[in-house]
Every structure is written in C-alpha cells, then in structure tokens.
C-alpha cells in the first residue's frame, strides 16, 4: 500500500509541469486565432464603432500583451479564478459548472456502457473464437469502430426515434413537462439512452477487440489448463482466472480514453442537442470566448490526470504483483 501512495504522489508531481505545458500551449494556440470576443460581439450586433470596441478590449484586458495576459490568467487559476466570460457575462467557473453535470452524466453513462458491453462482447468472442458468434460480433465491432460518432448518432435517431419512436431525438428532458420523482428520473433516462449509445459505440468496439485478444492469450496459459484439469467449472475458470487477468490491458486503455470521450461529446452533444460542455465548447469557439475554452481545456486535463490515478489503483487491485 505504501508503494501505491508513492506512485500516486510521483504522478501528482509529474502532473504539475504537464498542466503548465497544457495551459501555455492552449493559451498560445487560442490567441493565434484571428479575431477576439469583441469582434464576435460586434459581428452578432451588426455594427460597432472602433472607439466602442477599443473600450471593451480595455475593460476585458484584451489590449495587454500576451505575457501580461498569460501571467494574469495563471495568477487567477492559482486562486481558482478562471476569468470572466464575455459572451455569457458571468464568471467562467459558474458557466462551466452549470454545464458540467450534464456532460459528466453523458460521459460516465457512455463509459460504463462501453466498458461493460465491450468486456462481455470480447469475452463471448474469445469463448466462441473461430465460430459464427465470433465472426458476427467481430463484424459488428468493426462497423462501430469505423463509423464516426455523428453518423452513429444520426442513424440511431432515424431508427429508434424517427421510425420506432422508442426514445426522444434530443435534449436532456421533456420541455414544459412538470415531472417529479420517478417520472422525472425516467424522462431523463430516456433522453440519455441514445446519446450514450452514440458516444459509447466506438469505445465499445475497442474494448471488445482488446478483451478478446487478452482472453485468448490468458486462456493459453499453464495455470488455466491446470485449473481445468482439477475439474473447476469452465465459467469459473473464464471469469475468475481468465477474465480478471485479461482486464489489466483493458483497464489501462480505458483510463486513457476519458479525454477522447470529452472530444466525442462535442459532436454527440451537438447532434442530440445535449446541454453540456460539448455544446458550450462549440458556442465558445463561435464567440471567440478564449476564457471559457481555456477553462474547459484545463478541467479536461485535470479529469484525465485524476482518472489515470484511479486506473493505477485499480490495476494494483487486479494484479497484486504490481504493488511490489
């Protein structure tokens, strides 16, 4: 256990320069884009005088050079002040926290769906390796792996919302419905199903293929044949001895996909009109609201680093040899 805490402490120390590098690169790239938030506001309003635009840039500190702006931003981050959103006229942290629960709900549901279904499908592919279930599941996983998120989202909207009318086509809840208790919960779940499937499809295919390969490798080991010779039930061998060891590479790869999930959420939230950070990112890009974009990038980086710490801990539980 002491070794686990030592590894976590080492990872946290390594995360500090990583975070600084992410902030610096993101800051420079965003400020290299043509125009700023004042230009976007002037474009949306239809017209604005040069004097008015200069006054707005002075108020929001956009006339300062990049070094001063970067220093002010770092000083604010250290005090949990992520700046002020010009387009939303509110602190960046408040804007992000308002959208964060919706994105976390979508990401975690998609992540759990992809992980559970990917592992189960991969286990079935390994057990029936070379037979028709393996070929059918392999072809399906390759389809989900090759198809982009927006295409999968559009297709399931056409099938399950437009044709079968089982689920709503977009949004996070039924607008205008005054629901409470279980009715409210069921309404939110029905709105969550389709975007979760669209976001999870790609990752489910990856976990299925990875689980299949790991399971086939584990099932060839000597201790598996020894357990079979002792008369242990095949399901016990496959799940307790085989799948547990096969989950180590799957768990490692899954931890690296959290950032990709957030990137996929940008597309999925746009397709399904989901009110989360993905849509906020697109709106901030259109409005040239660099403060909001920097806050989202910083939050994503912290989430990825925290997830890697959890994954390191889970791997030590799956394989006690790593603790040494």
pLDDT at 48: 66
The whole-chain average pLDDT of the chain stands at: 78
Which residues on neighbouring strands pair with residue 85, listed in sequence order? 90
The half-sphere exposure of 106 on its side-chain side, counting CA atoms within 13 A, is 34
pLDDT at 8: 62
Contact 20, 71 (CB under 8 A): no
pLDDT in tens, 143-166: 888 888 888 888 888 888 888 888
Give the position of tokens 């840039």: 57
**Residue 261 CB neighbours (<10 A):** 25
pLDDT of 241 reads: 62
Handedness of CA 104, 100, 166, 207 (dihedral sign): negative
Work out the angle between the directed axes of helices 181-218 and 149-156 (0-180°, nearest 10).
Answer: 130
pTM over 0.85: no
Residues 228-245 have pLDDT tens digits of 676 676 666 666 666 667
Which value, to the nearest 10 degrees, does the dihedral of the CA atoms of residues 299, 301, 307, 309 take?
A: -120
Domains of the chain: 2-92 (no CATH), 99-323 (1.10.3720.10)
Per-residue model confidence (pLDDT) at position 215: 79
In tens, the pLDDT along 54-106 reads 777 777 777 777 788 888 888 877 887 888 887 777 888 888 888 888 888 88
Give me the sign of the Cα torsion angle 30, 31, 34, 36: positive
Task: Give the mean pLDDT of 252-275.
Answer: 77
Cα separations in angstroms, 115 against 92, 119, 211, 231, 266: 32, 6, 10, 31, 20
CA distance linking residue 132 with residue 32, whole number of Å: 54
């Amino acid at each position: 256990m002491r070794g686990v805490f030592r590894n976590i402490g080492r990872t946290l120390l390594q995360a500090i320069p990583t975070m600084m590098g992410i902030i610096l690169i993101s800051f420079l790239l965003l400020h290299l884009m043509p125009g700023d938030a004042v230009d976007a506001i002037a474009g949306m309003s239809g017209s604005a005088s040069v004097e008015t635009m200069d006054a707005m840039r002075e108020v929001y500190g956009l006339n300062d050079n990049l070094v001063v702006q970067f220093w002010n931003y770092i000083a604010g981050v250290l005090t949990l002040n992520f700046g002020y959103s010009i387009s939303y006229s509110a602190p960046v942290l408040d804007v992000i926290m308002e959208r964060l629960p919706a994105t976390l709900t979508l990401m975690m549901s998609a992540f759990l769906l992809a992980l559970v279904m990917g592992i189960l499908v991969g286990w079935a592919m390994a057990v029936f390796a070379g037979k028709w279930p393996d070929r059918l599941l392999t072809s399906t996983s390759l389809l989900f792996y090759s198809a982009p998120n927006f295409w999968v989202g559009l297709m399931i909207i056409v099938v399950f919302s437009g044709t079968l009318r089982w689920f709503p086509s977009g949004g996070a809840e039924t607008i205008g419905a005054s629901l409470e208790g279980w009715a409210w919960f069921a309404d939110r779940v029905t709105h969550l199903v389709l975007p979760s499937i669209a976001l999870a499809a790609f990752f489910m295919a990856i976990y299925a293929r990875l689980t299949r390969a790991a399971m086939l490798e584990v099932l060839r080991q000597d201790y598996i044949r020894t357990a079979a010779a002792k008369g242990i039930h095949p399901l016990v061998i496959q799940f307790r001895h085989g799948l547990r060891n096969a989950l180590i590479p799957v768990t490692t790869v899954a931890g690296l996909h959290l950032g990709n999930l957030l990137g996929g959420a940008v597309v999925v939230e746009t397709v399904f009109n989901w009110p989360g950070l993905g849509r906020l990112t697109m709106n901030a890009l259109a409005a040239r609201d660099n403060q909001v974009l920097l806050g989202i990038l910083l939050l994503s980086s912290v989430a990825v680093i925290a997830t890697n710490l959890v994954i390191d801990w889970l791997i030590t539980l799956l394989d006690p040899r790593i603790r040494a």
